[in-house]
Structure 1
């Protein structure tokens, strides 16, 4: 789970919203998430991400990318593909992915 919000991005940019249901803390999950976080940092055009999970197992991760090419590069990354495959086979009860173009963005900070 992230504890800061991504803000100050200049539109347009793209989001990949990943919503999922899985058991709390399945074996190997934390290590894989950490590795994917390290790996996505190297994708040109990656802007950041936010993630949260309810105690009941519903998770939402929003990743931000400058353009569709960078988002596609992450989607097609071989190690990321292997992690997704493992997740479908072992961790997730269900998930969905939504891709969107952000045309307007603003934030508030006290």
Structure 2
């Protein structure tokens, strides 16, 4: 990824049961991919969920937050799916990685 770029780190604890969460999460990822400025996404869920999405600019992040279907999902998340969540927006200036298979 061309640096610098932005990472939105969304950590959450969920309510009990799926209640349509899995289907909505898949839809949100497909929708985010179509957003201008979207770079990628990674996620994991155990006791807490962590989703990190990557964006070209703060404006791209703002536009995603305001996207109509995403706004509805955010409201449903507060009403049904999350006990708590935190959003962190970070500027990525440097990165490195390791991959044993490459």
TM-score, with length taken from structure 1:
0.86
Equivalent position of 1:82 in the other structure: 72
Q: How far apart, CA to CA, are the structure 1 residues paired with 2:6 and 2:25? A: 21
RMSD: 1.1
Equivalent position of 2:38 in the other structure: 46
Q: How far apart, CA to CA, are the structure 1 residues paired with 2:59 and 2:69? A: 18
Q: Which consecutive segments of 4 or more residues in structure 1 shift more than 3 A?
A: none
Structure number having the greater helix percentage:
2
Equivalent position of 2:99 in the other structure: 109
Aligned with residue 14 of structure 1, among 6, 14, 17? 6
Q: How far apart, CA to CA, are the structure 2 residues paired with 1:106 and 1:47? A: 17
* 1:18-33 matched pairs, under 5 angstroms: 18-23=10-15, 25-33=17-25
Shift of residue 24 of structure 1?
Answer: 5.4
Q: How far apart, CA to CA, are the structure 2 residues paired with 1:96 and 1:66? A: 21
Question: What 5-or-longer segments of structure 1 have no aligned partner?
Answer: 1-8
**Equivalent pairs, count:** 100
Between 62-71 and 22-31, the greater mean CA deviation after superposition: 22-31
TM-score, with length taken from structure 2:
0.92
Aligned with residue 83 of structure 2, among 61, 78, 93? 93
Question: What 5-or-longer segments of structure 2 have no aligned partner?
Answer: none
